[in-house]
């Protein structure tokens, strides 16, 4: 309503019907927060068109919102996709993609060491919805070839795996299913589009927990899926709108704000992680270090081919097993004992007693995780402060 018309109404009505100024002659420098969940129309036909086609106009924020769209466009652009969809969390994105692609009786090929939440969804789909899942190591394209069945619909991989930092050979693994009508999905959370763009390696869909590197400041939950084709985007969007895990505009805005420094943060986090990995590898109190940019890493050659840098996460084993790992994580003072990653602050955790607690010693070993393995999600602090902290914590372990 125009200001002129508003001023002729009673105060009770005017307090409700506030004027919405639309900028003219200038525009906001940053993305505005369109927090409203619903939009209004001047024209009944336009509103009817928006019901018919979600791209015709913004209608209702579960179906689309300008702030959320800005995030979808930003991540889709970085990943080199046609379009994106933003969600309330990474798990929201993963669920929308899995449930949007799969039907009962379908078959999935998935990497064995997936993020626990993804593994739980696949288990649930297998137990309650008749979806069959074959797990593969992610190291061997032949395993993928042998796992293929007529009902295989989806291949699910992660660029860098938690906490072993395994690097999946995306083009080789995806290449095995590319001509079989299989949708390839890659969780690119650990690499971010700064280090790897899985669509360039044949993936059809990329998913992110935006909670991690994209947001970057431990203050927002979010997820994004990016699609190679408009058809896939449309299909998953129709389903996602029904599921309802849409991103909140303020969360999308926080993620966009964080993303402005993504390139700088990633550069510093990777440089810090490499410095720490090299120093840890030379420390007498450390029996093993896993970091893709170290020449001794099992996937070093793949990492050099696919990743622009080694990433912000490394895993290492203080000599002394489980107790040593637990002592270390309680002894750090600059790093924080916390289960997330991608934050500007350095975070440590002990997978065997937390994220991977359900695995016994044998299963941990098979997954490449030691009883004492410490995961370090490196932040942007000064590397010497981080190293001094690690050294003093290692001294307590010895
Ligand atoms: N994917 C990966 C690789 C993760 O590490 C996580 C969370 O840690 C998720 C997905 C789920 O993300 P969210 O916690 O935002 O739902």
Write out pLDDT tens, residues 275-296: 999 999 999 999 999 999 999 9
Domain boundaries, the chain: 62-259, 262-397
| Predicted local confidence at residue 92, as pLDDT | 98
Distance from the CA of 47 to the center of ligand 1, in angstroms?
A: 37
Q: Which fold would CATH assign to domain 262-397?
A: 3.90.1150
Active site residue 291: no
Look at residue 140 in the predicted model and tell me its pLDDT: 96
Give me the pLDDT at residue 324, please. 96
Q: Which residues contact 144 (CB under 8 A, 6 or more apart)?
A: 109, 136, 155, 173, 176, 177
Residue 27 designated active-site: no
pLDDT range class, residue 144, cuts 50, 70, 90: very high
Please report which confidence band the pLDDT of residue 170 belongs to, taking 50, 70 and 90 as the band edges. very high
**Whether residue 304 lies in the annotated active site:** no
Of 34, 115, 213, 291, catalytic: 115
C-alpha of residue 91 to centroid of ligand 1, in Å? 6
pLDDT higher than 80, residue 1:
no
Separation between Cα atoms, residue 352 and residue 372, nearest integer Å: 7
CATH of the structural domain 62-259, one choice from 3.30.1300.10, 3.20.20.10, 3.40.640.10, 3.40.50.720: 3.40.640.10
CA 149 to chain centre: 28
pLDDT beyond 80 at 378: yes
**Average confidence score pLDDT of the chain:** 96
Residue 54 has pLDDT above 90, yes or no: no
pLDDT value, residue 367 = 82
pLDDT of residue 226: 98
Task: Compute, in angstroms, the gap from residue 194 CA to the centroid of ligand 1.
Answer: 18
The pLDDT of residue 120 is above 80: yes
Same fold across 62-259 and 262-397: no
Can the peptide bond before residue 163 be classed as cis, meaning omega within 30 degrees of 0? yes
Quote the DSSP letter at residue 32: P
Whole-number pLDDT of residue 5: 86
């Amino acid at each position: 309503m125009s200001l002129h018309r508003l001023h002729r109404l009673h105060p009770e009505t005017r307090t409700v019907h506030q004027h919405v100024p639309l900028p003219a002659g200038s525009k906001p420098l940053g993305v505005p927060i369109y927090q409203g969940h619903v939009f209004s129309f001047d024209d009944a036909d336009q509103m009817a068109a928006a019901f018919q086609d979600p791209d015709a106009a913004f209608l209702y924020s579960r179906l689309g919102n300008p702030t959320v769209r800005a995030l979808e466009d930003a991540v889709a652009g970085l990943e080199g996709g046609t379009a994106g969809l933003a969600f309330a969390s990474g798990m929201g994105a993963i669920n929308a993609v899995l449930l949007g692609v799969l039907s009962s009786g379908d078959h999935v090929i998935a990497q064995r060491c997936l993020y626990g939440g993804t593994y739980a969804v696949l288990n649930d789909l297998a137990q309650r919805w008749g979806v069959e899942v074959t797990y593969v190591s992610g190291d061997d394209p032949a395993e993928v070839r042998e796992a293929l069945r007529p009902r295989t619909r989806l291949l699910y991989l992660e660029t860098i795996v938690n906490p072993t930092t395994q690097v999946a050979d995306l083009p080789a693994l995806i290449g095995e299913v590319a001509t079989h009508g299989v949708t390839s999905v890659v969780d690119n959370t650990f690499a971010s589009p700064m280090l790897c763009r899985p669509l360039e390696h044949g993936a059809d869909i990329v998913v992110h927990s935006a909670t991690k590197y994209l947001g970057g400041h431990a203050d927002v939950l979010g997820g994004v899926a990016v699609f190679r084709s408009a058809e896939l985007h449309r299909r998953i969007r129709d389903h996602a709108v029904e599921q309802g895990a849409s991103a909140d505009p303020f969360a999308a805005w926080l993620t966009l704000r964080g993303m402005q420094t993504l390139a700088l943060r990633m550069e510093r986090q990777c440089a810090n992680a490499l410095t720490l990995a090299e120093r840890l590898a030379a420390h007498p109190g450390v029996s093993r270090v896993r970091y893709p940019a170290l020449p001794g890493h099992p996937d070093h050659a793949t990492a050099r081919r696919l990743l622009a840098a080694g990433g912000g996460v490394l895993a290492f084993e203080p000599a002394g097993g489980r107790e040593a790992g637990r002592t270390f994580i309680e002894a750090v003072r600059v790093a924080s004992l916390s289960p997330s990653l991608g934050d500007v602050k350095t975070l440590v955790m002990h997978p065997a007693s937390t994220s991977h607690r359900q695995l016994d010693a044998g299963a941990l070993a098979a997954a490449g995780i030691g009883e004492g393995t410490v995961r370090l999600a490196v932040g942007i602090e000064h590397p010497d402060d981080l190293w001094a902290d690690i050294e003093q914590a290692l001294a307590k372990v010895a």
